[in-house]
Structure 1
C-alpha cells in the first residue's frame, strides 16, 4: 500500500465520521498491507468540541495494525487570513519534462500520478533549485478530486527528493507522514516543493509545500524515512509489496527495519 494512500483513506474516514474538514494529521507506518488484502479503518473521536475535533484512526488487516493516525479537524473564522512565502520560480508544466518511472509495477497508485520535473526558470534539464531542494508538477487525472486525502498522497514524496539529491543512489521507506491543510484549492496541476533537510544515521528528513498552479499554498507535509543505498535507476519495489506472502508481520518488520 502506497503510504500516502493509507493516510488519505484514514483522513477521509475521520472527515466522514466527524463531519469536519482536516486541519492536521500525522501517520505512523507500522507494517505493510499486501496486494489483495483488505485494510479496515477504525475511527475514534476522542474529543468532539463545538469547533474542533481530535480524532484517531487505526488501519489494520485482521489483527495486524498497518497504520495509526492522529488528527485535528474543524473550521473556524478569523478576519485576517494570510499565507506567507511564495512558490519557487519554475517553468509551467507543459514546458517541463515528464518524470520517468523505473518500477516494473505498471498498475499502481504511483503509475497513475502524472508528474513533470519542474525546471528552474531558464534551465534545460532537471536540477536542484538549491542544495537539497527540488520541485515537481503533479496531478492525478484518474483519481481523486482535490481534497485533504489527495494532498496526503501528494505529500508522500520526500523519498523522491532524497533519491534526486543522491543522484539516484538512495532509496527510502517512509516511517511517517504529517500533513497540515491550509486550503483545498482546485488546480489542474500542483507544485510539490520538496526540501530535504538532512540525511543522518541512515534516516532522511524533509518537508513538502504543496502549491496550486496559481501560487496558492494548499498544504504542508513532512516525513522521516529509512534510507538505503541502491544502484542508479534501480527502482523495483520489494517483492513483499507486489505479491501476497505467508510471512508473519513480525518477520516483515524485522527484515525491513
Structure 2
C-alpha cells in the first residue's frame, strides 16, 4: 500500500487541489484528525503536485477536523526553481482552516555528505514490550494501524511522578500496511512529542500539537523506525521537544520538532 491509499488521499481535476476524507482510522482517541496524518497527507499532495521530494515541511495546527468531514488541501507553488520548489498549502473543512503548511521540495546531487550523530543504543524491537493503547476503543483510530514497542521509558501504570533523566524516551514503530519509507509516513511517526512529555515528567500529561516541522534526511528501507524523543522543557502550559527518526541500521531518516499544549490527563 502506498501513502495515497493508506491515507485515503484523493486527487481532483485540479492538480493543485486534493481531498482527504477524515475517517476514524486517521484520528486520535478523541476523534479528531491526528496531526501527523494531516501533515503526511499535505506532504504527499505537495510531492505529487510538484513532482519533487520534500526537504522540510512545517505545519501549524489551527483547528480540529472530525469524521465524517472532508478536508480540502489547496497547494500553491510560489517558486519553482531549477532544483527546488517552495510551496505552501492550506487544509480546510468548508471555511474552517485546519492546518497550514509551508515546505521546500527538491533534490540536489553534491559530493559533500555525512551523518554526524549516532542512533542511541536501545533494545531491538522484538526485545521490547508492546505499548498498550491509552484509550478504550483505539482499534477504531490511527493507533490500530501502528505497532508500538517501548524501547526507553515507562508504561502508563508505572508513572510515579519521577522525571525521566534527560527527558529522553523512545519507541519502535511499525506502520501496518505501509512498509515503504516515505516522508508522509515519517510525518505520522514524528508527531510524538506529546507522548514524550508524559514520559519526561513521569506523570499523565499529554498534549495537542501546535506545530510540527519535519526535516527529511535520507529515506532507506526499514521494517521498524525508532522514534527517539527528547523533551527540552515544559513551562507556562506548553511543552517543547525534538524527535529523531532512525532506521534499524542506524541511518537518520528525519527529524521532527514540536511545541504542544500540555494537558493533565484525567
1:140 aligns with 2:172: no
1:209 aligns with 2:241: no
Change (3 A) 1:206 1:136: same
In structure 2, what is the Cα distance between the partners aligned to 1:181 and 1:143? 18
Residue 171 of structure 1 and its aligned partner are, at CA, apart by: 1.7
Map 1:185-224; keep pairs closer than 5 Å. Answer: 185-224=220-259
**Where does residue 20 of structure 1 map in the other structure?**
52
* Secondary structure of 1:45 counterpart: strand
Residue 63 of structure 1 and its aligned partner are, at CA, apart by: 1.1
Gaps of 5+ in 2: 1-32
Residue 186 of structure 1 and its aligned partner are, at CA, apart by: 1.1
Residue 112 of structure 1 and its aligned partner are, at CA, apart by: 1.3
Gaps of 5+ in 1: 232-257
1:116 aligned to which of 130, 145, 149: 149
1:6-61 CA-partner distances (Å, limit 9, x unpaired) = 00000001000100000000000010000100011000001000000000011011
Which structure shows the bigger proportion of residues in strand conformation?
A: 2
Residue 185 of structure 1 and its aligned partner are, at CA, apart by: 1.1
1:153 aligns with 2:188: yes
Instruction: Report 1 or 2 for greater relative contact order, CA contacts < 8 Å, sequence distance ≥ 6.
Output: 1
1:10 aligns with 2:42: yes
Residue 143 of structure 1 and its aligned partner are, at CA, apart by: 3.4
Q: Given the two structures, how large is their TM-score scaled by the length of structure 1?
A: 0.84
In structure 2, what is the Cα distance between the partners aligned to 1:13 and 1:5? 12
1:35 aligns with 2:67: yes
Q: Tell me if structure 2 keeps the 8 A contact 1:128–1:134.
A: no
Change (3 A) 1:131 1:146: same
1:162 aligns with 2:197: yes
* Secondary structure of 1:118 counterpart: strand
1:172-226 CA-partner distances (Å, limit 9, x unpaired) = 0100000000011110101111000010100000000000000000000000000
In structure 2, what is the Cα distance between the partners aligned to 1:142 and 1:186? 14
Q: Tell me if structure 1 keeps the 8 A contact 2:164–2:199.
A: no
1:209-252 CA-partner distances (Å, limit 9, x unpaired) = 00000000000000000001224xxxxxxxxxxxxxxxxxxxxx
Q: Tell me if structure 2 keeps the 8 A contact 1:129–1:135.
A: no
Change (3 A) 1:197 1:6: same
**Where does residue 127 of structure 2 map in the other structure?**
95
1:106 aligned to which of 123, 134, 139: 139
Q: Tell me if structure 1 keeps the 8 A contact 2:163–2:201.
A: no
Q: Given the two structures, how large is their TM-score scaled by the length of structure 2?
A: 0.82
Map 1:216-235; keep pairs closer than 5 Å. Answer: 216-231=251-266
How many residues get paired? 227
